[in-house]
């Protein structure tokens, strides 16, 4: 069965970057699209473009950090299209700075969007997918920062490790129900995430403390790939029902080194 044609895909963070490219890629494959984002103007542009291309599409203003908004999104999606099959919990923000210097507001903002946003997506959509009994796929956007702890990204890493852990568990739970689960873990992707993350921080989580120093030049490793190429990888992962979606060849060596460090931790046990 074609996982895209005639199916309904919900994409949070669909107003730009990776989310908008996921929506474009699914629409090109014949899916109906529900965009969800806090940025209504950005979403409206993507919606108009997809509609002009012949897609059935709607957009619903949603702050994923609020459970009741995600529940309203799920209800609205089902009301509009009858069911939901692909759920991309993709909305996210970036946070930089060393942990000891991170204001408490950074934790709340980052976990609110990156962690709770995904939890809300799972809570509000997965029971519906199960009740429908029509299969489907959940894609949670984490990051390479969800697979390796990185200096300058500690708060962000915590939010993304949580997403990887819950997605690995969800994959095991939903497999017997014929529902695929993937976790997207890119390194750097060409999007406006840094600017958006500053602009979108709610007033009550703006810290009085000076912002932590930005990472020094060269601290962020790896090449930069396009959001289009990332969306292609996600489409393939859905087709092939693959759990991990990696995007950069450089990831292999970094993950090997992590695995080697874990392996080395057993040396003491041998004697």
Ligand X SMILES: NC(=O)c1ccc[n+]([C@@H]2O[C@H](COP(=O)([O-])OP(=O)(O)OC[C@H]3O[C@@H](n4cnc5c(N)ncnc54)[C@H](O)[C@@H]3O)[C@@H](O)[C@H]2O)c1
Residues 129-168 that bind ligand X (CB under 6 A): 141, 143
Residue 59: CB minimum distance to ligand X, A:
11
Single residue of 8, 23, 34, 189 touching ligand X by CB under 6 A: 189
Cα 68 from Cα 90, distance rounded (Å): 18
Q: Of the listed pieces 14-22, 25-33, 71-79, 253-261, which binds ligand X according to CB under 6 A?
A: 14-22
Residue 5: CB minimum distance to ligand X, A:
25
Single residue of 196, 231, 237, 246 touching ligand X by CB under 6 A: 196
Distance separating the N- and C-terminal Cα atoms of the chain: 53
Residue 24: CB minimum distance to ligand X, A:
13
CB atoms < 10 A from the CB of 168, how many? 13
Under the binding rule (CB under 6 A), the answer on residue 191 touching ligand X is yes
Single residue of 53, 149, 169, 192 touching ligand X by CB under 6 A: 192
Under the binding rule (CB under 6 A), the answer on residue 55 touching ligand X is no
Residue-wise over 58-97: b if at least 16 C-beta within 10 A, else e? Answer: bbbebbbbeeebbebbbebbbeebeebbbbbbbbbbbbbb
Under the binding rule (CB under 6 A), the answer on residue 18 touching ligand X is yes
SS3 57: strand
Give the pairing of strands 57-61 and 179-185: unpaired
Residues in the chain: 271
Q: Is 244 a catalytic residue?
A: no
Under the binding rule (CB under 6 A), the answer on residue 76 touching ligand X is no
Single residue of 10, 35, 93, 124 touching ligand X by CB under 6 A: 93
Cα 64 from Cα 210, distance rounded (Å): 27
Residue 113: CB minimum distance to ligand X, A:
4
Residue 191: CB minimum distance to ligand X, A:
3
Give the pairing of strands 244-246 and 179-185: parallel
Q: Of the listed pieces 3-11, 61-69, 209-217, 249-257, which binds ligand X according to CB under 6 A?
A: 61-69
The order of strands in the sheet holding 32-37 is 57-61, 32-37, 8-12, 86-89, 136-141, 179-185, 244-246
Under the binding rule (CB under 6 A), the answer on residue 17 touching ligand X is yes
Residues lying near ligand X in the complex (CB under 6 A): 12-13, 15-19, 37-39, 42, 62-65, 90-93, 113, 117, 141, 143, 186, 188-189, 191-193, 196, 200
């Amino acid at each position: 069965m074609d996982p895209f044609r005639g199916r309904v895909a919900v994409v949070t963070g669909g107003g730009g970057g990776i989310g908008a490219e996921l929506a474009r890629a699914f629409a090109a494959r014949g899916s109906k699209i529900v965009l969800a984002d806090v940025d209504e103007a950005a979403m409206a542009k993507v919606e108009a473009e997809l509609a002009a291309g012949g897609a059935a599409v709607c957009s619903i203003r949603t702050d994923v950090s609020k459970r009741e908004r995600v529940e309203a999104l799920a209800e609205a999606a089902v009301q509009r299209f009858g069911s939901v099959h692909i759920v991309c919990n993709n909305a996210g923000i970036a946070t930089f700075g060393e942990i000891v210097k991170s204001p408490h507001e950074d934790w709340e903002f980052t976990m609110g969007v990156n962690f709770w946003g995904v939890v809300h997506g799972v809570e509000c959509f997965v029971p519906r997918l199960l009740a429908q009994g029509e299969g489907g796929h959940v894609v949670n956007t984490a990051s390479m920062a969800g697979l390796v702890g990185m200096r300058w990204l500690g708060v962000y890493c915590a939010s993304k490790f949580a997403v990887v852990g819950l997605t690995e568990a969800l994959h095991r739970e939903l497999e017997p129900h014929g529902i695929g689960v993937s976790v997207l873990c890119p390194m750097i992707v060409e999007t406006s995430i840094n600017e958006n993350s500053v602009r979108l921080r709610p007033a009550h989580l703006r810290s009085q403390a000076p912002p932590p120093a930005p990472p020094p030049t060269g601290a962020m490793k790896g090449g930069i790939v396009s959001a289009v190429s990332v969306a292609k990888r996600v489409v393939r992962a859905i087709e092939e029902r693959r759990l991990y979606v990696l995007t950069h060849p450089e990831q292999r060596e970094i993950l090997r080194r992590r695995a080697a460090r874990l392996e080395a931790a057993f040396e003491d046990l041998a004697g």
